[in-house]
Structure 1
Amino acid sequence: MAKVYWISVYRSITDPDRLAAYAKVSGQALTAAGGKILARGEPAVTKEAGQPLRTVILEFESVEAARAAYDSPGYQEALRILGPGSAERDIRIIEAI
């Protein structure tokens, strides 16, 4: 079965302190739910229309596992810590080929 990747791109960050608190809790919650953090931070290089936006990439065994991780109590607590308006993100869950 193909792996699944959760990709978060931060379009804007308005509260870096809340983001840091969120990152601690979310990382623990997502790895506890079976996710493996592959990369996080700003890109080393961008090309074409790329922008130097914070990006996080996690690997999961299935779409269902990634969805369950998002819905887990631990990750929902992380989202509560992040709060509305602290960051604007684009989160995608995609299957590998």
Structure 2
Amino acid sequence: MAKAYWIAAYHSVTDAEKLAAYAKLAGPAIEAGGGRFLARGQAAKAYEAGLLQRTVLIEFDSVAAAEKTHDSPGYKAALAALDGGCIRDMRIVEGV
């Protein structure tokens, strides 16, 4: 079974306090689901239509594990705390 990667690319942060509240809940929920943070922070360089914004890369053992974590009560609580505190896109991609 291929690993999976949860990629969140932030376009803008509109409320730093909400983002901090989200992070406090999201980290433990993701780790409880088997997620391993591989990269987290400001982009070092951006090309084409990329933005020099926060990017997060998390590895899971499978797409199913990543989806289960995203849909978990713990992560749903983190999303509720985020409540519009940023604009981002998030994807789950199967590894090769």
Q: Please give the TM-score of this superposition, normalised by the length of structure 1.
A: 0.93
Match of 1:36 in 2: 36
Match of 1:56 in 2: 56
Match of 2:89 in 1: 90
Dislocated runs of 4+, deviation >4 Å: none
Q: Please give the TM-score of this superposition, normalised by the length of structure 2.
A: 0.94
Native 8 Å contact 2:11 2:51 kept in 1: no
- The whole-number CA distance in structure 2 between the counterparts of 1:4 and 1:73 is 20
Q: CA RMSD in A?
A: 1.0
What is the one-letter code of the residue matched to 1:71? D
Q: Secondary structure at the match of 2:11?
A: strand
The percent of aligned pairs where both chains have the same amino acid is: 54
- Greater displacement, 43-52 / 17-26: 43-52
- The whole-number CA distance in structure 2 between the counterparts of 1:50 and 1:60 is 24
Match of 1:70 in 2: 70
Unaligned runs of 5+ residues in structure 2 are: none
Q: Deviations over 1:16-60 (max 9, x none)?
A: 111011111100000001101111111112233322011000000
- The whole-number CA distance in structure 1 between the counterparts of 2:59 and 2:15 is 26
Q: Secondary structure at the match of 2:64?
A: helix
